[in-house]
């Protein structure tokens, strides 16, 4: 058994190989040696908890968590989580197209950018058609 105790600000989180983390977990001790403590400055504990849940394939991405999760996935270069965030923004997010496009441009999300631009182009064509009729 191994573990890593994460200290984020005044919050403590646990990362272990099995079982997946639980929101109520606060302290975890290794059976073989003292657990290392890692401090993650500038990281929001709730965002990190959500990020870990996505890593463990839990459905943690929603309107309130997608930006924080994406920030950490981008910071730690976890491409599968970046893609999940992008997929959520394309398929389920209620953000406006302008908000999504702004986010895509800031974070180099090409699929989201193309999706937004296609929506804008479709609206432009539709508006031009209705002006002609």
Q: Where exactly are the structural domains of the chain? A: 41-132
H-type alpha helices, 1-133: 45-55, 66-75, 79-91, 97-106, 110-132
Regarding predicted confidence, which is higher, 2 or 46? 46
What pLDDT, in 10s, does the model give residues 64-106?
999 999 999 998 889 999 999 999 999 999 999 999 999 999 9
Cis-peptide into 19, omega within 30 deg:
yes
Percent of the chain with pLDDT over 90: 41
pTM, 2 dp: 0.67
CA–CA distance, 68 with 53 (Å, rounded to integer): 13
**Strand pairing of 11-16 and 3-8?**
antiparallel
pLDDT confidence of residue 1: 41
- In 3D space, the residue among 3, 86, 75, 87 whose CA is nearest the CA of residue 37 turns out to be 3
């Amino acid at each position: 058994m191994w573990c890593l105790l994460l200290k984020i600000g005044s919050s403590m989180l646990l990362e272990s190989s099995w079982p997946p983390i639980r929101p109520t977990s606060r302290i975890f001790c290794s059976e073989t040696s003292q657990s290392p403590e890692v401090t993650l400055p500038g990281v929001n504990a709730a965002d990190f908890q959500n990020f870990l849940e996505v890593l463990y394939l839990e459905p943690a991405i929603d309107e309130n968590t997608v930006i924080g999760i994406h920030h950490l996935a981008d910071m730690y270069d976890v491409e599968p989580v970046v893609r999940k965030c992008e997929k959520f923004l394309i398929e389920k997010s209620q953000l406006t197209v302008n908000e999504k496009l702004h986010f895509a441009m800031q974070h180099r999300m090409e699929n989201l950018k193309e999706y937004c631009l296609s929506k804008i182009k479709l609206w432009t064509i539709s508006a031009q058609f209705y002006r002609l009729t």
